[in-house]
Structures are given as C-alpha cells and as structure tokens.
C-alpha cells in the first residue's frame, strides 16, 4: 500500500452489503463537464453527488478515468495509476472518493486488464525487442508462412485480431482495436503487477471493481479460444487471494458468454471469485442472425423473459445476479425495449419496475433514470465510437449496404448511450458551456433532470421510489423469485417471497392494452408498493392492464 495514502474502508462493511445496494454507472466523458472543454470530468461528477445521493444509490461504477490516448474512450489505459488530464487529477479522484463516501456512496473502478493501450510503458518495452523482460507481458507470434497473421482469430472491433509490428517482425494480439494490445495472463509477473495495482486502488478507498471483459483473460489464441479459456477461473481465484480476500468489496465481471450453466462458476459462495457477473443473454438473444448486432431483431418479450428467468433460476440458491437493461455499450432501454414515441414515460417506468424488483443487484446507467432515448444519429460523421466506425469502414470496403448499416447503428450502436446527460432544457442540455465532444440529443428540451426533479409522476421519481423500496423491504433484496405467465407475450409477472411477506409484480410490457386470467400463484391482495398508473392493491380474476402499466403489491401470506 502507498504509505502516503490513508487506508479507508468502503462505505459499508456489513456482510454481502453489495446485495442490498443500487449501483449507478457513470460514463465520465458524457456525464457533466465542469470546465467548458466539452468533455465530462471528475469535478463535474463531484458537483452532481447530491443529485445521486438523493436518488438513493449506494455505489457509483465509474467507467475508466485512467490515463489513456482515448482510442476507445478510456478502455485503452496507458497508466493504471494516473488520471487522464481531460478527466482531472489523482487529487480530484481522491476528492471524489471522499465526497462520495460522505454521502454513503462507494466508488467502484473499472478494471480493464484484458488489454492495455499500446502507449502503456509495458507495451512500449514489450515491443522494443524480442528479449525485453516485458516481451512476454503481451502475446507475440511469428507470421504465418505466407507472412500473414498467425491465424484467423477475429477482433471484436472488426478485422483480424493480429497486428504486425515492423520493429521485431512479429504479430501481437489485439482482441479489440490495434491500440489495445492483449495482456498475456499466462505470465505470472504480469499477474502480480495487476494485483499490486488493484491493491493500490483498494488502499485508496475504492469499494470494488467492475471487470472489463474478464472472461477473456484465459484466452488461448493458438487454439482460437477467446472467452472462457481453461485457466480463467484459476486466475480469478488467484486474483481473489491476492487482492480481494478480506476486503468485503463489490466485484462484478463482464462476461458476454456466461450462461446459466456457467454462472455459478463466477459467483458461487465457495468459489471465492466475484460477487456477480454481468451476463448478456437477454441482450444478445435479440440480436440478428449469427449474433449480428447491426441487424437486431424486433423486441420479443417471451425471448427476453426466458433469458432473465433462466438466470434467476440458476442462481436461486447460490451465486448472485446483476440486473441491468442498459450500459455504455448498449442502446437506451426505453428505445430498445420500450416505446419512446407513444408511451415514453410509461414504458421507461415499466422496464425499470421489472429490472429493480427481480432478485439481484440493480444497475442504473446515467440518464436511464430520466428516460433518455437513443441518439437518433443518421450520418456516420455523428458517431465517435471506434466499434461503429470500424464496422462502417469494413462494410464500406466490402461494398455492403451502408444505409442498412446506419439503420443498425441507430438501433443498436454504442453511441446511443454516450450522448451527454440531459440536465436542463438549456443549450447543450446543461452538460457543457463549450462544444460537446458528441452531439446532444435534441429532445433535451423535453427530457431533462430539471423537468423531472419536483414531479412525482416523473420517470425520475419512479426510480427514486424503486431504489427506496429495496431499502425498506427485505423481500426485495432477499425474497425468492417465482416467474409467472412465462409464455404470455405481453405480460412480465413474478412474485418474490420471504417468510410470510410477498411482493407480486405485474407489468404490461407492450404498447397495447392487455387482459389475462391471473393464475393462482400470482393472485394476491395487500398494499400497492409502486405503480406507474393509479395505485392497485389486488391481483385477481381477469385483469385488464393499460399499455405499459406496471405495479407491485405487497402482502402477508
Ligand atoms: O466491452 C466488451 C465488448 O465486447 C463490447 O465491445 C461489445 O462486444 C460490443 O459492444 C458488442 O458489439 C467492454 C467495454 O464495456 C467496452 O466499452 C470496451 O470497448 C471493450 O470492453 C474493450 O475494453
Ligand atoms: Ca471537462
């Protein structure tokens, strides 16, 4: 531990505290700009902590703020122990940790350790010569006999995962952009460096880590294995021993490939790996053929419920779910799953009702709590995201239909989540006094924090009530989960049960009125815990629901 830094505890220290909290994700570049350079920053976050405390959240997951050339907005780190100047300084970071702590909010850092930036000093050493002591911190291979890449492994950001480096005549692996060379986790010195860095941040008082693409660290590129390599769980257990054990922090690993079958391997009680994983089956099961995200399928509730219900079942006795409908890589939830034109408020609140009342720890992505919508970009020059730009270039080079690609990007591209948070109706939505780094959604005249803050019917007020319910009703945190009406194409319903307490949740997840016969297991009457139309306290008989009507009833059995 750095000896000039006082050791502080995460803000809470009761066992499994991360099960009963709500996490708020900040994508710093788009949150709030304090100095008019058009880029959100750490002082901007500090200025909004009272807003977040009022919302009731207990943790901020901070997308990367480390030193970075920003090829992937900070997911390309050049120094794990420093802050990018556009975001602030280490002193700003310490102030954020302290000021958040005063408000009962812990800071969870984004741990991006599958790869670094090509400007990290480790990579600069590694690429300098074949016998550099850091050569093996990264993955280097000889060219194929024809001089081409060692094999056909693709990058997640289009093209080959291999880049040729003239200086030493070998290829290096980059599962993302060429500026994001993959670290070689099979090297024990590299692993020790990572754990040391994690301890350095934990000793500074952070409340845990969100672990970027953590299921890639066991990659075996020679066998074309990217996720879930054979050593993955050995490395996670070692990481736990070396950096996490005894710390009582929140850890959440991002795993696009985790399934209900493998979920417990990450978060099972006796595994000593992570608190939970972000799984994506409810997201990717709605992508197009062969997982094509640029051709998403229309929303289908039965598919969506099946994915979520299977995860609820799989982690019923052991392990723990994370609950999310949006993040910085996904389209806005109200645009993807709801109806942002005809039933904007009702669908935003209905989706939130489901997400917050399932069993697990809910995550709110910045702006979701006011129902921010997709960006509405129609031209490629409006986009900033490396993934979108690379795939656009690839489609263009191949002579594919670019109009169709732009439709896909508008529906499912990552920049939908990255337009600035809409604080006010004023110019640039109160995000910046300068020129924003990416376009502000013109609907900020209508959808903004200012508009909603004193309005009890707002999306924001609904989020505040949902977050509050978790604090006052243990059944929301600890109750079991029983899915109902699983094949109903319009209704998302379930009960939660703890001792003699029951919470029954019914949501019309569609833009049409719905009617259905209530099955015995769902029938109840008690008090209305939350609703987005008039309060209701009974679920029985043949129930009629308005478009996107959502409510929950608390009762004793
Ligand atoms: O995302 C992992 C990832 O694989 C995404 O890029 C995802 O594949 C893509 O959006 C779906 O097409 C994480 C971060 O969340 C993301 O922002 C980073 O760009 C990526 O890792 C690399 O660090
Ligand atoms: Ca700024």
* pLDDT value for 6: 38
At 50, which helix (H) or strand (E)?
A: helix 49-55
Question: Which residues line the pocket of ligand 1, CB cutoff 6 A?
Answer: 72, 75, 112, 156, 176, 212-213, 254, 256, 293, 328-329, 387, 414
Task: For 132-141, write each residue's pLDDT tens digit.
Answer: 999 999 999 9
Q: How far is the CA of 382 from the centre of ligand 2 (A)?
A: 20
Cα gap 124→557, rounded to integer Å: 64
* R_g of the chain computed on alpha carbons: 23
Where does the pLDDT of residue 10 fall: very low under 50, low under 70, confident under 90, or very high at 90 and above?
low
**Prediction pTM value:** 0.97
pLDDT at 475 over 70: yes
| Residue in 176, 281, 327 to alter for ligand 1 test, most ligand atoms within 8 A of Cβ | 176
pLDDT at 101 over 60: yes
Would you say 466 and 75 are in contact if contact means Cβ atoms under 8 Å apart? Answer: no
Cα gap 329→346, rounded to integer Å: 24
- With tokens 């169709």, the residue in question is 404
Contacts of 450 (CB under 8 A, 6+ apart): 423, 424, 425, 430
* pLDDT value for 9: 57
Task: For 412-424, write each residue's pLDDT tens digit.
Answer: 999 999 999 999 9
* pLDDT value for 481: 98
Considering the chain, what percentage of its residues have pLDDT values greater than 70? Answer: 98
At 551, which helix (H) or strand (E)?
A: strand 550-556
Task: For 134-182, write each residue's pLDDT tens digit.
Answer: 999 999 999 999 999 999 999 999 999 999 999 999 999 999 999 999 9
Q: How far is the CA of 485 from the centre of ligand 2 (A)?
A: 48
Q: How far is the CA of 110 from the centre of ligand 2 (A)?
A: 20
Cα gap 485→483, rounded to integer Å: 7
At 80, which helix (H) or strand (E)?
A: strand 79-83
Q: Shortest CA distance to 126 belongs to which of 175, 209, 50, 189?
A: 189
Among the bound ligands, name the one nearest to the CA of residue 181: 1
Going by CA atoms, what residue is nearest to atom 10 of ligand 1?
A: 329
Scored b (16 or more CB within 10 A) or e, 4-28 reads eeeebebbbeeeebbbbbbbbbbbb
Q: How far is the CA of 209 from the centre of ligand 1 (A)?
A: 16
Where does the pLDDT of residue 557 fall: very low under 50, low under 70, confident under 90, or very high at 90 and above?
confident
Where does the pLDDT of residue 5 fall: very low under 50, low under 70, confident under 90, or very high at 90 and above?
very low
pLDDT at 318 over 60: yes
Would you say 130 and 138 are in contact if contact means Cβ atoms under 8 Å apart? Answer: no
Task: For 352-397, write each residue's pLDDT tens digit.
Answer: 999 999 999 999 999 999 999 999 999 999 999 999 999 999 999 9
- Of 10-24, 82-96, 110-124, the range with the lowest mean pLDDT is 10-24
pLDDT at 56 over 50: yes
213 phi and psi angles, rounded to 5 deg? 30, 50
Would you say 139 and 172 are in contact if contact means Cβ atoms under 8 Å apart? Answer: yes
| Residues designated as active site | 212, 254
Contacts of 519 (CB under 8 A, 6+ apart): 484, 485
Q: Shortest CA distance to 184 belongs to which of 106, 263, 115?
A: 115
- With tokens 């977050």, the residue in question is 467
Among the bound ligands, name the one nearest to the CA of residue 412: 1
Q: Give the tokens for residue 217.
A: 């660290």
- What atom of ligand 1 comes closest to residue 75's alpha carbon? 23
User: What torsion do the CA atoms of 514, 518, 523, 525 make, to the nearest 10 degrees?
Assistant: 40
Where does the pLDDT of residue 13 fall: very low under 50, low under 70, confident under 90, or very high at 90 and above?
confident
Q: Shortest CA distance to 29 belongs to which of 370, 459, 453, 385?
A: 385
CB atoms within 10 A of CB 544: 11
Going by CA atoms, what residue is nearest to atom 3 of ligand 1?
A: 213
Cα gap 303→126, rounded to integer Å: 46
Cα gap 489→170, rounded to integer Å: 53
Going by CA atoms, what residue is nearest to atom 17 of ligand 1?
A: 329
What's the rounded mean pLDDT across residues 482-497? 98
What's the rounded mean pLDDT across residues 508-531? 97
Q: Output 294 or 1, whichever has higher pLDDT.
A: 294
Nearest-5° Cα angle at 64, 61 to 65: 110
Measured in residues, the chain has a length of 557
Q: Give the tokens for residue 24.
A: 């708020």
Considering the chain, what percentage of its residues have pLDDT values greater than 90? Answer: 97
Q: How far is the CA of 441 from the centre of ligand 2 (A)?
A: 19
Cα gap 105→252, rounded to integer Å: 17
Residue spans of alpha helices (H) in 148-210: 188-203
| Residue in 68, 75, 226, 283 to alter for ligand 1 test, most ligand atoms within 8 A of Cβ | 75
Cα gap 167→144, rounded to integer Å: 17
Cα gap 27→30, rounded to integer Å: 6
Cα gap 470→57, rounded to integer Å: 11
Among the bound ligands, name the one nearest to the CA of residue 328: 1
Going by CA atoms, what residue is nearest to atom 12 of ligand 1?
A: 293
522 phi and psi angles, rounded to 5 deg? -100, -15
pLDDT at 239 over 70: yes
Count, in order, helices (H) and strands (E) of the chain.
Answer: 16, 22
* pLDDT value for 445: 98
Q: Give the tokens for residue 341.
A: 């034109």
Task: For 328-349, write each residue's pLDDT tens digit.
Answer: 999 999 999 999 999 999 999 9
Task: For 526-551, write each residue's pLDDT tens digit.
Answer: 999 999 999 999 999 999 999 999 99
108 exposure class (CB count in 10 Å sphere: 0-12, 13-18, 19+) = buried
The DSSP output letter for 243 is I
Q: Is 248 left (phi over 0), alpha (psi -120 to 50) or beta?
A: left
Rounded alpha-carbon distances, angstroms, from residue 486 to 306, 323, 482: 7, 19, 10
Query: DSSP secondary structure string, 252-299?
Result: EEE-TT--TTTHHHHH-TTT-S-SEEE--HHHHTTS-GGG-TTSPPPP
* pLDDT value for 1: 35
What pairing do the DSSP bridges indicate for beta strands 59-62 and 106-111?
A: parallel
């Amino acid at each position: 531990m750095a000896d000039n830094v006082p050791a502080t505890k995460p803000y809470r220290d009761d066992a499994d505290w991360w099960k009963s909290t709500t996490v708020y994700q900040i994508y710093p570049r788009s949150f709030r700009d304090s100095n008019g350079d058009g880029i959100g920053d750490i002082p901007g976050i500090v200025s909004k902590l009272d807003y977040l405390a009022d919302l009731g959240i207990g943790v901020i997951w901070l997308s990367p703020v480390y030193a970075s050339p920003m090829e992937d907005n900070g997911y390309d780190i050049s120094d794990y122990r420093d802050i990018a100047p556009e975001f602030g300084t280490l002193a700003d970071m310490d102030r954020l940790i302290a000021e958040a702590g005063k408000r009962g909010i812990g800071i969870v850092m984004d741990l991006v350790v599958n790869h670094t930036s090509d400007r990290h000093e480790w990579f600069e050493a590694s690429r300098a010569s074949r016998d550099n002591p850091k050569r093996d911190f990264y993955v280097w291979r000889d060219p194929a006999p024809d001089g081409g890449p060692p094999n056909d492994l693709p990058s997640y950001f289009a093209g080959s995962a291999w880049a040729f480096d003239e200086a030493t005549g070998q290829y290096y692996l980059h599962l993302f952009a060429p500026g994001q060379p993959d670290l070689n986790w099979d090297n024990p010195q590299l692993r020790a460096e990572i754990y040391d860095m994690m301890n350095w941040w934990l000793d500074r008082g952070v409340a845990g880590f969100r672990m970027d693409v953590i299921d890639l660290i066991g990659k075996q590129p020679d066998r074309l294995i990217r996720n879930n390599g054979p050593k993955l769980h050995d490395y996670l257990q070692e990481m736990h021993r070396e950096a996490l054990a005894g710390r009582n922090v929140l850890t959440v690993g991002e795993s696009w490939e985790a399934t209900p079958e493998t979920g417990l391997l990450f978060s099972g009680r006796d595994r000593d790996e992570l608190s939970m994983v972000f799984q994506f089956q409810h997201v990717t099961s709605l992508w197009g053929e062969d997982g094509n995200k640029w051709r998403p399928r229309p929303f289908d509730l039965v598919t969506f419920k099946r994915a979520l219900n299977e995860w609820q079942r799989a982690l019923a006795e052991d392990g723990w779910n994370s609950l999310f409908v949006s993040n910085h890589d996904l389209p806005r939830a109200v645009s993807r799953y709801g109806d942002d034109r005809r039933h904007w408020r009702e669908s935003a609140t209905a989706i939130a009702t489901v997400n917050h009342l399932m069993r697990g720890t809910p995550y709110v992505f910045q702006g979701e709590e006011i129902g921010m919508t997709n960006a509405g970009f129609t031209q490629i020059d409006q986009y900033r995201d490396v993934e979108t730009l690379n795939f656009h270039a690839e489609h263009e080079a191949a002579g594919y239909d670019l109009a169709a690609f732009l439709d896909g990007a508008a529906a499912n591209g990552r920049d939908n989540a990255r337009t600035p948070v809409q604080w006010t109706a004023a110019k640039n939505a109160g995000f910046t006094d300068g020129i924003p780094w990416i376009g502000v959604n013109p609907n900020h005249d209508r959808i903004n924090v200012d508009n909603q803050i004193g309005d009890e019917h707002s999306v924001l007020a609904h989020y505040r009530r949902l977050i509050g319910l978790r604090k006052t009703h243990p059944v929301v945190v600890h109750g079991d989960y029983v899915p109902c009406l699983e094949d109903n194409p319009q209704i998302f319903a379930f009960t939660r049960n703890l001792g003699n307490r029951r919470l029954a949740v019914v949501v019309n997840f569609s833009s049409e009125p719905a009617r259905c016969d209530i099955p015995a297991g769902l029938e109840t009457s008690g008090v209305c815990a939350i609703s987005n139309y008039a309060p209701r306290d009974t679920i029985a008989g043949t129930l009629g629901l308005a478009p996107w009507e959502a409510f929950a009833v608390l009762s004793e059995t």
